[in-house]
């Protein structure tokens, strides 16, 4: 029964159905389902499906943003029911941004939504972000991963610079790096020494989880 409720809750995110989502949360809580499980197996599962649908061209950006807004609203409701001593464990801390000289941020914002929906703490340094800001923020929050996006061939080089800045700061052994963006490839990631390349937002979540598993 719990599994069925979680599946319907995930579907409410996909369908952007707030009323049904609220009803299912009330039902799950009344049945004694752990609030953390509601977030992880219901709401997050739905948001991940939304991300996959976006990548497959089945839905468009406005629908993703509506789903993300509903997800945030429902998570806030559920979090109020989590006992103070039972916090949802963070999946990891990620510094995210579009590199200096590049003002594109739609893809980055989708990745951010999916990271957050899957339990990652995201520290967004924005678009056209000075390279030092990636390093400074990673130091400040003790980041596990730096994820940089470059949408133009002319700005890809700055992803390589981030690798060098991490080495100069003595952080490279402690921080994993991910890259993404239209001109990026696995080959480019290997060439500059990045730990992972993600082709799309859904894959970024998968790769981030893999990097955290290795780190732990």
Q: What is the pLDDT of residue 68?
A: 82
**84 is a domain residue:** no
* Residue 62: count of CB within 10 angstroms of its CB: 8
Alpha helices (H) along the chain: 2-14, 18-30, 35-37, 44-55, 61-79, 106-117, 131-141, 157-168, 186-192, 201-215
CA 148 and chain centroid, separation: 12
Instruction: Give yes or no: residues 107 and 183 share one domain.
Output: yes
Instruction: Give yes or no: residues 30 and 8 share one domain.
Output: yes
**85 is a domain residue:** no
Q: Quick one: which of 178, 198, 161 has its CA closest to 95?
A: 178
**109 is a domain residue:** yes
**199 is a domain residue:** yes
Residue where a domain stops, chosen among 79, 104, 126: 79
Q: What is the pLDDT of residue 10?
A: 94
Residue where a domain stops, chosen among 27, 54, 79: 79
CA 149 and chain centroid, separation: 13
Residue where a domain stops, chosen among 48, 79, 110: 79
Instruction: Give yes or no: residues 130 and 205 share one domain.
Output: yes
What interhelical angle do 44-55 and 61-79 show, nearest 10? 170
CA 163 and chain centroid, separation: 21
Taking the whole predicted model, whether its pTM rises above 0.85 is answered as no
Tokens of 195: 């730990």
Instruction: Give yes or no: residues 25 and 113 share one domain.
Output: no
Instruction: Give yes or no: residues 132 and 209 share one domain.
Output: yes
Query: Could you tell me the mean pLDDT of each successive run of 10 residues in the chain, 216 residues long?
Result: 90 96 95 86 85 86 86 86 69 96 84 80 96 98 97 95 97 96 95 95 90 84
Instruction: Give yes or no: residues 202 and 117 share one domain.
Output: yes
Range of the domain at 46: 2-79
Asked if residue 184 lies in contact with residue 99, where contact means CB atoms within 8 angstroms, the answer is no
Instruction: Give yes or no: residues 29 and 112 share one domain.
Output: no
Q: What is the pLDDT of residue 51?
A: 79
Q: What is the pLDDT of residue 216?
A: 66
Instruction: Give yes or no: residues 43 and 73 share one domain.
Output: yes
Q: Quick one: which of 181, 126, 137, 125 has its CA closest to 155?
A: 181
Name the DSSP letter for residue 97.
E
Instruction: Report how many domains make up the chain.
Output: 2
């Amino acid at each position: 029964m719990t599994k069925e409720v979680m599946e319907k809750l995930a579907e409410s995110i996909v369908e952007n159905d707030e009323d049904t989502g609220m009803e299912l949360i009330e039902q799950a809580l009344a049945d004694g389902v752990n609030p953390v499980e509601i977030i992880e197996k219901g709401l997050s599962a739905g948001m991940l499906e939304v991300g996959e649908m976006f990548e497959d061209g089945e839905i468009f950006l406005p629908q993703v943003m509506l789903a993300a807004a509903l997800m945030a609203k429902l998570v806030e409701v559920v979090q109020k029911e989590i006992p103070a001593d039972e916090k949802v464990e963070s999946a990891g801390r990620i510094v995210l941004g579009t590199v200096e000289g590049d003002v594109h941020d739609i893809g980055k914002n989708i990745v951010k939504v999916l990271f957050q929906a899957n339990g990652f703490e995201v520290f967004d340094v924005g678009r056209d972000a000075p390279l030092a800001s990636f390093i400074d923020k990673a130091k400040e929050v003790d980041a596990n991963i730096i994820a940089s996006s470059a949408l133009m061939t002319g700005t890809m080089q700055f992803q390589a610079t981030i690798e060098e800045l991490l080495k100069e700061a003595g952080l490279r052994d402690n921080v994993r790096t991910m890259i993404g963006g239209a001109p990026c490839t696995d080959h480019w990631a290997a060439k500059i020494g990045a730990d992972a390349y993600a082709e799309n937002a859904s894959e970024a979540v998968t790769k981030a989880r893999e990097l955290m598993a290795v780190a732990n």
